[in-house]
Structure 1
Amino acid sequence: MTPRVAHLVAAFFASLTAASGAAAQGAAPLAPLAPSRTYMALVASESVDRVAVIEFGPQGAKVVRQHDVGVMLADPDGPHGLAVAPDGAHYYVSTAHGTPYGVLWKFDARTNAYAGQVMLGNFPATAQVTPDGRLVVVVNFNLHGDMVASDVSVVRTDSLQEIARITTCAMPHGSRVNSRGTRHYSVCMMDEQLVEIDLDGLQVSRHFLLTKGMERGMEGAPPARGAADAAHAGHDMSGHGLAQPAAGSTTCSPTWAQPSADDRTVWVACNGTSDLVEIDVASWTMRRRVPAGNGVYNLAATRDGTKLVATNKRGQSVGIIDAKTGATLATLPTQRRVVHGVVITPDDRYAFVTVEGVGSEPGTVEIIDLAALKTVARVEVGQQAGGIDLLPLR
């Protein structure tokens, strides 16, 4: 055996040993592969009143079409929330900057044709369609005036009739419905609360105090708080989740609520303390706090219940967290600043993340392979990319 052959044989057996060791530890992520199917995402860009349709498949990622949303020519309408119906036939966009109120728009998902609209409250933001496709639930974020209690709109998808406007708390955000469509969860960025709405009774059923060291679940709606209370609570009063909190602050400043796939728990992103609170739904008590990235903002959970994906607004990164152990599996930096929304493909393979950008920078959608734990594609869209959702797989 020549020295060169001996070297190659040794290298081969060394690679086998390394691979078997990694497999035994279960720590080696898979190498990223080009997708064998095509995924379609819809992205709202707030500064340019535009929705882009992104295609990600074997040939990579690209914008395949886009269209404008809104009617105000001199000032952006501000498309913020975006929600696709479960059957993929329609999607809904909330525009936040209406005069005096915002609007929920309905579009045909195949043609982008206008299909109707309804006026909601001040600054309608995060939106989601219930699993049965009957309702759209939209939080009225209300950035205007005093930090008083705002509300959540419930809209029928067929008639676009607002059937309820449920008062919750100051600056509701992070709106998500559980998998059965029976409960809606949102957080109050200025009131330290998680709020649960009974969608059958169309009323607040419970709330949960999220301040570190004071965590407690309670029945009924949260108590009303005035602007002075919020102003002295250490919150980011801009409502954008970018302000660095004071050292040692216990203020959660919650920005997102994410039910687990089995509806047993709700995860809350505490933007102020840069951690996650896991709440047991049955007992309405806190299970644990889990460290997260700097300024954790939005969350998405895989359908198999194994991972959480968190956008870190101040940290310019995305965290991938083991839902069982709470360990951070990877922290992936983003190309641009102000990381915003995240959705996960129905097969749990990829996460699509929106990044707003700063100033004249375009918005970006970054696509993460959740098996390889790597960013595998980026697409530029309109400025201030925020709301995002996926069309069903075909």
Structure 2
Amino acid sequence: MTRRTALAAALAATVCAPSALAAQPGPERTYYVWVAAEAVDRLSLVRFGPGGARVEREVGIGRNVMDPEGPHGVDVSPDGRRLYVSTGHGTPFGDLWAFNAAGDSVLGSVTLGDFPATLQVSPDGAYAYVVNFNLHGEHVPSSLSVVSTDPLVEVARIPTCTMPHGSRLSADGTRHYSACMMDDLLVEVDTRTLGVARHFRLTRGAEGGMQGPVAPRAAGGPPADHGGHGMAAPAPGGAACSPTWAQPSPDGARVWVACNRSSEIVEVDVASWRMVRRIAAGDGVYNLAVTSDGALLVATNKRGQSVSVFDARTGRELARIPTLRRVVHGAAISPDDRYAFISVEGVGSEPGTVEVIDLRARRRVAAVDVGQMAGGIDVWKMEP
């Protein structure tokens, strides 16, 4: 049996018989999840319920088939009515798109900076916060775009640092966090003043918090070494963090930062703006998600072909679940904290995958193929 045939068989078994993979009973509810496929300009609505997982609907995104858009970030508005998608490529800049949450109509778009990436909508639904990752540029500071959702207009572009990623808001919407891969920094933006309030250096041995914006960096220099966007192994003895995600805790007391290069999670206390600890993580830890009760922290291991589940209080890794394909990307958790939905990019001509992790059983219970380079992912709704 070839590797491709074996993988296809494993996928079929996972989709058709999730109960065979876990002692836990199948889902009593039905969950709907949106995922973006960056390589094929396509959004997929995945349905997961008592009958397993399947693709319910697919929607194309873009203006011109000859100009790839590259959908990257995905976020559903708090009221569940709108779906927001950032497109990182295009000419010359990227955009933020708004769809009806069912995916059957485009509500509008607005042009932002170079390679808009991760995004999140504010708790009141009034603003979308999108980091401009600037994947193809030089080592120069980039920015955070603040977009009014009605009308769809960029109202501010806040300078931050080099290659920001992991756009996440505190539960009360007053603070925004992102992490800059090339500067080893966590950045906190005050959403009331629309300015950088503090930043935190994550480099091992040089950790420390500072007030105010990041000091400007000289323009020019060599092209950025993006290391395969999170796939480069660390240099021997290196101290760099190369952060790719910032995840605040539900109570706002902590921020966890994924150090992709060093395969660690740095925990920062928000009140004191000091590091609490470094948590050993999987190889190439990339994206993070936390349960609404703050009990579990889920991490995707981009180089490690796995997903880790941590006890958020103690920092102990409770499980490390292998994924069916390589290049693990995003994570989204169901509103009832029962399941984690994981996007996996795949390699080469492989399709992307959405894998479903049962957080009680701490194992994979379903998987379904979507478009190539599956990345941004978010839960739309669950029924009943």
* TM-score of the superposed pair, with normalisation by structure 1: 0.89
Query: Cα distance, 1:228 vs. partner?
Result: 7.9
- Separation in structure 2 between the aligned mates of residue 297 and residue 111 of structure 1, nearest angstrom: 27
Q: How does 1:123-202 map to 2 (within 5 A)?
A: 123-202=115-194
Query: Cα distance, 1:306 vs. partner?
Result: 1.0
Unaligned runs of 5+ in 1: 1-29
Matched with 1:219 is: 211
* Aligned equivalent of 2:197, options 201, 205, 211: 205
Q: How does 1:1-394 map to 2 (within 5 A)?
A: 31-226=23-218, 237-238=226-227, 240-394=229-383
- Separation in structure 2 between the aligned mates of residue 229 and residue 268 of structure 1, nearest angstrom: 27
Deviation per CA, 1:179-201, whole angstroms, max 9, x where unpaired?
00110000001001000001111
Matched with 2:8 is: none
Rg larger in 1 or in 2? Answer: 1
Secondary structure in structure 2 of the residue aligned to 1:98: coil
Secondary structure in structure 2 of the residue aligned to 1:169: coil
What is the one-letter code of the residue matched to 1:168? T
Query: Cα distance, 1:393 vs. partner?
Result: 3.1
- Separation in structure 2 between the aligned mates of residue 393 and residue 339 of structure 1, nearest angstrom: 24
Change (3 A) 1:332 1:94: same
Query: Cα distance, 1:236 vs. partner?
Result: 5.3
Query: Cα distance, 1:110 vs. partner?
Result: 2.4
- Separation in structure 2 between the aligned mates of residue 57 and residue 346 of structure 1, nearest angstrom: 14
Matched with 2:17 is: none
- Separation in structure 2 between the aligned mates of residue 306 and residue 267 of structure 1, nearest angstrom: 13
Matched with 2:3 is: none
Could you say what the CA RMSD is over the residues aligned between the two structures, in angstroms? 1.5
- Separation in structure 2 between the aligned mates of residue 149 and residue 350 of structure 1, nearest angstrom: 37
Query: Cα distance, 1:305 vs. partner?
Result: 1.0
Deviation per CA, 1:167-220, whole angstroms, max 9, x where unpaired?
000000011011001100000010010000011111110000000111100001
Which structure has more relative contact order (CA 8 Å, sep 6+)? It is: 2
What is the one-letter code of the residue matched to 1:311? T
Query: Cα distance, 1:279 vs. partner?
Result: 0.4
Change (3 A) 1:333 1:116: same
Given that 2:67 and 2:91 are in contact with CA atoms closer than 8 Å, whether structure 1 keeps it comes out as no
Percent identical among aligned pairs is 60
Deviation per CA, 1:307-337, whole angstroms, max 9, x where unpaired?
1000000101100111111111111111111
Where has structure 1 moved over 4 Å in runs of 4 or more?
Answer: 226-231
- Separation in structure 2 between the aligned mates of residue 121 and residue 318 of structure 1, nearest angstrom: 31
Query: Cα distance, 1:227 vs. partner?
Result: 6.9
What is the one-letter code of the residue matched to 1:149? P
- Separation in structure 2 between the aligned mates of residue 311 and residue 334 of structure 1, nearest angstrom: 10
Range that drifts further, 171-180 or 65-74: 65-74
* TM-score of the superposed pair, with normalisation by structure 2: 0.92
Secondary structure in structure 2 of the residue aligned to 1:222: coil
- Separation in structure 2 between the aligned mates of residue 357 and residue 155 of structure 1, nearest angstrom: 32
